Structure 1
């Protein structure tokens, strides 16, 4: 099977398997839809060049070239690496209507997307650091 084909397959694991593989904070966010503290998270002020991957499955999600400071307290991006690498769904939790962003491979909760971002997309992907791993560009 080709690498491209493997990359598109969904990952399904038991909650016990996820708990063994993820840190408690990453598990809370990716598997339970939690949110980390604003401004005090790993990638909010991160300025290295490279790619941000899903901490649950390694799916490439966002390039540092699409990262910007939205001053919202979480890492923000104006576009994903590929629309195929994320999925979205309506989120009505906390008495709000928002669009939740999920990893398309492991269905992990990443954050939310809003329509108040910069050009060229006008989008702000507000993503939890604990749902991401970063690999520096070499």
Structure 2
């Protein structure tokens, strides 16, 4: 690898936001390499969080963002990640209320997206974003 490629790899980050509740798993991840946000609609997962384990294995996030209020299965999953000396992502917790449906909708609607014109109306913004992401996934 040349120096430029090494620098690009070092600055590349994947951030995974995940929330598990009542057997449902909601997540999205941001990849800084290509500036993409990947979204997975709420999906059933078992108490061992095998689906989440698969996602973590596939995307190798550098940072995992989750709620400070967790179900036992999520706490155990995060502890398991910390026990692996070869892979220890940084875990960042936010208050439980930050993972609410309305708070999340407002964040998306107020975010700056380079692919949307600055003069787009709120109604057009809602219409476009709701065609990309389900606003019904709690």
TM-score by length of 1: 0.26
Structure with the greater relative contact order (CA < 8 A, sep ≥ 6): 1 or 2?
A: 1
Identify, as 1 or 2, the structure richer in helix. Answer: 2
TM-score by length of 2: 0.26
